[in-house]
């Protein structure tokens, strides 16, 4: 996941993301990160900024959009994640699920071609997990391209076009979502059978 956004260097192999060869030494990571959003398991919101300020910071600084346009953008993306009513609040005033949805809105505000979700529900209780998964499901049905690392197998099966099961840092099995119902390898059978 970190290699896809250029946060980790590739040791071997080839990786092309949004038309950029990440295995090339001269790849423009700044240009890549304008097209690839990432949402981490820890929300990484700035506690001293309001929800609107967290969402508009990158579009203002990186994309250099006008303030009025950024305000409209914040309203739009917060509406997408069901948090328009929280626009003037601070992260500490929000539940974990709400903070994670603000993090999703922050990523959407950059108008990415691809969003990476790195275990975004791992720190949430089941009710808050449901909130976040509904937002991701809505994005998927709207055509957003996403790469999702998750242990939520039922959810992965319902929203994915392609499943990749990794074991010991290598791709162990991949295919259509039905590989979770009928795994080819003992490792995936054990993983799915262990309740994840």
Tell me, what's the pLDDT at 195? 57
- Fold topology of 16-160: Rossmann fold (3.40.50)
Whether the Cβ atoms of residue 115 and residue 144 lie closer than 8 Å to each other: yes
Would you write out the chain's pLDDT as a tens digit for each of its 196 residues? 888 988 888 888 889 999 889 888 888 888 898 899 999 888 889 999 999 999 999 999 999 999 999 999 999 999 999 999 999 999 999 999 999 999 999 999 999 999 999 988 887 888 888 888 889 999 998 999 999 998 888 888 888 999 999 988 889 999 999 999 899 999 999 888 865 5
Residue 81 has what pLDDT?
93
DSSP-H helix ranges across 49-111: 51-61, 67-80, 96-108
Residues 70, 61: contact at Cβ < 8 Å?
A: no
User: Tell me, what's the pLDDT at 78?
Assistant: 96
The stretches of 39-193 forming alpha helices (DSSP H) are 51-61, 67-80, 96-108, 126-141, 153-159, 186-193
Instruction: Give the model's pLDDT for residue 61.
Output: 94
Separation in Å, CA 133 to CA 117, 130, 148, 163, 190: 11, 5, 11, 17, 24
CA distance 160 to 157: 6
Sequence-distant (6+) residues with CB within 8 A of 6 are 22, 27, 29, 32, 33
Q: Kindly state the DSSP code that residue 65 receives in the 8-state scheme.
A: -
């Amino acid at each position: 996941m970190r290699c896809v956004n250029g946060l980790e260097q590739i040791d071997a192999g080839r990786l092309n993301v949004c038309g950029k060869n990440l295995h090339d030494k001269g790849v423009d990571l700044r240009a890549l990160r304008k097209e690839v959003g990432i949402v981490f398991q820890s929300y990484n919101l700035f506690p001293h900024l309001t929800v609107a300020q967290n969402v508009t910071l990158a579009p203002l600084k990186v994309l250099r959009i006008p303030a009025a346009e950024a305000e409209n953008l914040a309203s739009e993306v917060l509406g997408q994640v069901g948090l328009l009513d929280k626009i003037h609040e601070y992260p500490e005033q929000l539940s974990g699920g709400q903070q994670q949805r603000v993090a999703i809105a922050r990523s959407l505000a950059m108008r990415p071609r691809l969003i990476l979700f790195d275990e975004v529900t791992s720190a949430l209780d089941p009710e808050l997990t449901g909130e976040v998964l509904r937002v991701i499901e809505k994005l998927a049905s709207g055509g957003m391209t996403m790469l999702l690392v998750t242990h939520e197998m039922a959810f992965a099966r319902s929203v994915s076009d392609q499943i990749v099961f990794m074991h010991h840092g290598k791709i162990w099995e991949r295919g259509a979502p039905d590989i979770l119902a009928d795994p080819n390898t003992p490792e995936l059978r054990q993983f799915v059978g262990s309740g994840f």
